[in-house]
Amino acid sequence: MALAFTFPGQGSQAPGMGRDLAAAFPAAREVFQEVDETLKQKLSKLMFEGPPEDLTLTANAQPALMAMSLAVLRVLETEGGFDLKARVALVAGHSLGEYSALAAAGSLSLATAARLLRLRGDAMQQAVPAGEGAMAALLGAELEQARAICAEAALDPLTEARQVVEIANDNGGGQIVISGHAAAVDRAIEGAKAAGVKRAMKLPVSAPFHCALMAPAADAMAEALAGADLRAPLVPLVANVSAAKATDPTMIRDLLVRQVTGTVRWRECILAMGAMGCDQFVEIGAGRVLTGLMKRLAPEAKASAIGGPAEIEAFLRSL
């Protein structure tokens, strides 16, 4: 049975995350303390106590979710002697989770990942003025159908100018997320309803992620990644924008830059990992979003999530 580790993205954060881990395991406390010191912020207190509106801010949520994932992994390593290189065939992460995956696989240090994600969160937030962008979920839509809806919605009927509205996430199971100019996203929602899509709704996000409007953030990340210490991962990464294996540091830098404006091809990533022999998928960190998607994408595979002490103990007993 080949094992893949997956790492969650924004939306999985919740006040209280990591608190039980920190109380139970010194190794988890060390991860949270290192991230706090790196960012010169008590991010761990925000994770443990909230308030939710501050934790949800992109610049906080991104490094917080990475810290949570790495704390779980560090506990697996210290408490159970878990050897990622020996036991895990592939890693993948959803959006910011790609940085967690790379840190888990030794490609990025914990401190470097924290700094990059703080910069990434700030840059993505600042790329588009508040209110100008939006994102929406199309539930029950297929990829080609969603592309057609976006192509039609991109044209402003009043000015005949084209606006941005693109596929941000192909999560699988009929779950497509679109992103772009707020007016174009509104038109796409109406177009989806007219096309018979089961449900189309705006998402409560602060910026239009993973679309062409994020180009200024991609430029900022290109500069930051050029100067970052990024090594070959201990196990291959299956990258968001290519849905293919990557191990070369130069290629990974390029993929991380492209990811800011590109589609998160999560459905294809999971199918690719299955085709490469993975039949057990373990989500490392906060929440169970990716585990829920797995049930639709690969119902025959074994899927589970590890986010707390009891789940860590159960996983280590299962090895």
Domain shared by 8 and 115, yes or no: yes
Domain shared by 106 and 143, yes or no: no
The CATH number of the domain where 163 resides is what? 3.30.70.250
Last residue of one domain, picked from the residues 177, 205, 233 = 205
pLDDT in tens, 213-249: 999 999 999 999 999 999 999 999 999 999 999 999 9
Domain shared by 217 and 184, yes or no: no
Domain shared by 145 and 40, yes or no: no
**What tokens were used for 73?**
């992994």
Last residue of one domain, picked from the residues 205, 228, 256 = 205
Q: Are 311 and 291 in contact (CB under 8 A)?
A: no
Number of domains in the chain: 2
111 CB burial (10 A radius; 0-12, 13-18, 19+): middle
pLDDT in tens, 70-129: 999 999 999 999 999 999 999 999 999 999 999 999 999 999 999 999 999 999 999 999
Residue 44 pLDDT more than 80? Answer: yes
Position of tokens 């506990």? 75
Residue 1 pLDDT more than 90? Answer: no
Position of tokens 């998928």? 281
Cα separation of 276 and 264, whole Å? Answer: 19
Confidence of residue 37 (pLDDT cuts 50, 70, 90): very high
Residue 146 pLDDT more than 90? Answer: yes
**What tokens were used for 267?**
């459905």
Domain shared by 119 and 248, yes or no: yes
Average pLDDT (251-257) is 98
Domain shared by 156 and 304, yes or no: no
Domain shared by 232 and 173, yes or no: no
Domain shared by 305 and 271, yes or no: yes
Distances in whole angstroms, Cα of residue 263 to Cα of each of 63, 188, 244, 260? 21, 17, 14, 8
Task: Return the pLDDT at 206.
Answer: 86
Q: Which residues are catalytic?
A: 95, 210
Least confident among 1-5, 41-45, 186-190, 239-243? 1-5
Last residue of one domain, picked from the residues 205, 229, 261 = 205
Distances in whole angstroms, Cα of residue 295 to Cα of each of 9, 239, 291? 18, 21, 7
Domain shared by 95 and 237, yes or no: yes
Domain shared by 221 and 295, yes or no: yes
Domain shared by 192 and 258, yes or no: no
Average pLDDT (180-199) is 98
The CATH number of the domain where 309 resides is what? 3.40.366.10
Question: Containing domain of residue 188, as a range?
Answer: 133-205
Domain shared by 86 and 145, yes or no: no
